[in-house]
Amino acid sequence: MGELIDYKCPCCGGKVEFDSTAQQMKCPYCDSEFSIEAMKEMEEAQQNQQSNMSWDTGAGSEWSQGETDGMKVFLCKSCGGEIIADDTTGASSCPYCGNPVVMTGSFDGDLRPDMVIPFKLDKKKAKEKYLQHLQGKKFLPKEFSDQNHIDEIKGVYVPFWLFDADADGDIRYRAVKERRWEDSRFRYTEKNYYSVRRAGSLAFEHVPVDGSSKMPDDLMESVEPFDYSEAVSFEKAYLSGYLADRYDVTAEQSIDRANKRIEESVIDTFRESVTGFDSVTTETKLINLNNGKAKYVLYPVWILNTTWNGEKYLFAMNGQTGKFVGNLPCDKAAYTKAVALYSVICVIIALVIAYFMS
Partner 1 sequence: MNYVIAVIIGIIVAFVIAAIQKSSLTSVTMQHAAADYVKKGSVKFRIQTERFLYRKVEKTEKQQK
Nearest alpha-carbon partner for 156 in 82, 257, 209: 82
Which residues 215-234 are close enough to bind partner 1 by CB under 8 A? Answer: 216-219, 221-222, 224-225
The single residue among 20, 21, 50, 189 that binds partner 1, judged by CB under 8 A, is: 189
If one asks whether residue 190 binds partner 1 (CB under 8 A), the answer comes out as yes
> 33-34 and 71-76 as β-strands: parallel, antiparallel, unpaired?
unpaired
CB of 39 to partner 1, least distance (A): 9
Between 89 and 288, name the residue whose CB sits nearer to partner 1: 288
Nearest alpha-carbon partner for 68 in 233, 235, 232, 250: 235
The single residue among 54, 104, 132, 327 that binds partner 1, judged by CB under 8 A, is: 327
Total chain residues near partner 1 (CB under 8 A): 82
The single residue among 23, 192, 213, 279 that binds partner 1, judged by CB under 8 A, is: 192
Q: Residue 350: left (phi > 0), alpha (psi -120 to 50), or beta?
A: alpha
CB of 61 to partner 1, least distance (A): 23
* Interface map 47-86 toward partner 1 (x if CB under 8 A): ----------------------------------------
Nearest alpha-carbon partner for 254 in 304, 215, 283: 215
* Interface map 256-285 toward partner 1 (x if CB under 8 A): --x--xx-xx-xxx---x------------
If one asks whether residue 198 binds partner 1 (CB under 8 A), the answer comes out as yes
Please tell me whether residue 264 adopts helix, strand or coil conformation: helix
User: DSSP secondary-structure letter at 259?
Assistant: H
Distances (CA, A) of 136 to 142, 277, 323: 11, 40, 17
Instruction: Give CA–CA dist 123/135, Å, rounded.
Output: 19
| Choices 84-92, 113-121, 146-154, 181-189; region in contact with partner 1 by CB under 8 A | 181-189
Bridge partner list, 314: 305
CB of 214 to partner 1, least distance (A): 16
